[in-house]
């Protein structure tokens, strides 16, 4: 399976962000990608009040975000994992942070609502309270993509291996980690944690990320990655927008699991 992780530097303007999404998904499809993954906050990266205003329902008539991705998937014939987008919840002031899987026909076939919300005070003075403006999900999610089983996570979930164990138990062969990792934590933990999740659960990991400076002075690390089940980095983005594109060899995944059958040796 040919996959692409899209790296963006999203801002407050939804329409402008969606134009960048259109550009990079089209580029990825021309490069042969069958599955294209977008980062967290791909459509909007700004103030909470404005986020509520652009939040969309995934039921009924599609809004601008869903319509753009549906049409892209259908026109280009690719599956799209739409990072984390604001999905309306029962609380109008706290939408979900939702990753949505569109199939090649543009249909929504899975949605994952971010379970672990990023509430931290960092040493550099950065204070982030995602729970103030976001409702938490509660259910892990796996879905089929081109006959393979995909597990869906978002950003801060990366620090909770028990979620990935549940995805592995559900048959996941590849896992997406759309993210907006802060520069402070990303430079020390991003590569380590992604490679660890790939190794310990023997899965491919596709991690599209935000990069650069965003509203309110927030800086994200970037370095979008594709990692194989041995922990090797197959592709990585540099600075700025771009693509990390790789071919996932599922025969190799089976070989790793066969020759190092640690998943079958669990006792807890």
Alpha-carbon gap, residue 50 to 38, rounded angstroms? 21
| DSSP-derived secondary structure letter, 171 | T
Among 114, 173, 237, 241, the active-site one is 114
Q: Residues with Cβ < 8 Å from 156, sequence gap 6 or more? A: 114, 116, 117, 118, 130
Among 51, 87, 130, 155, the active-site one is 155
Examine the residue annotation and report whether 40 is marked as an active-site residue of this protein. yes
Alpha-carbon gap, residue 60 to 158, rounded angstroms? 32
Alpha-carbon gap, residue 258 to 95, rounded angstroms? 42
Q: What share of the chain is helix, strand, coil (3-state, %, to 5)?
A: 35, 30, 35
For the record, the structure tokens of 209 come out as 């990320």
SS3 readout for 6-58: EEECCCCCHHHHHHHHHHHHHHHHHCCCCEEECCECCCCCCCHHHHHHHCECC
Q: Residues with Cβ < 8 Å from 118, sequence gap 6 or more? A: 128, 130, 155, 156
Q: How many CB atoms are closer than 10 A to CB 208?
A: 30
Alpha-carbon gap, residue 174 to 152, rounded angstroms? 9
Scanning the chain, the segments in alpha helix (DSSP H) are: 14-30, 48-54, 64-76, 130-133, 161-169, 183-201, 250-259
Active site (catalytic) residues: 40, 114, 155
């Amino acid at each position: 399976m040919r996959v692409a992780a899209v790296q963006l530097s999203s801002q407050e303007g939804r329409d402008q962000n969606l134009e960048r999404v259109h550009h990079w998904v089209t580029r990825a499809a021309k490069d042969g990608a069958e599955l294209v993954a977008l980062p967290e906050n791909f459509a909007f990266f700004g103030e909470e009040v404005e986020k509520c205003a652009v939040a969309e329902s995934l039921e009924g008539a599609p809004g601008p975000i869903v319509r753009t991705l549906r049409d892209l998937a259908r026109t280009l014939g690719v599956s799209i994992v739409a990072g984390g987008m604001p999905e309306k919840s029962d609380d109008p002031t706290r939408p979900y942070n939702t990753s949505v899987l569109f199939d090649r026909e543009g249909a929504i076939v899975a949605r994952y609502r971010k379970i672990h919300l990023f509430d931290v005070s960092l040493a550099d003075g950065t204070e982030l309270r995602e729970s103030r403006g976001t409702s938490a999900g509660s259910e892990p999610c796996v879905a089929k993509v081109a006959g393979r089983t995909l597990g869906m996570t978002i950003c801060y979930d990366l620090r909770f291996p028990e979620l990935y164990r549940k995805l592995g138990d559900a048959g996941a062969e590849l896992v997406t980690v759309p993210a907006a990792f802060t520069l402070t934590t990303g430079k020390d933990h991003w590569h380590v944690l992604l490679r660890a999740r790939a190794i310990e659960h023997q899965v491919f990991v596709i991690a599209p990320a935000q990069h650069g400076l965003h509203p309110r002075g927030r800086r994200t690390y970037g370095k979008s990655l594709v990692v194989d089940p041995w922990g090797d980095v197959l592709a990585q983005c540099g600075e700025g927008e771009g693509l990390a594109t790789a071919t996932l060899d599922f025969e190799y995944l089976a070989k790793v699991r066969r020759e190092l059958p640690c998943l079958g040796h669990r006792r807890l």
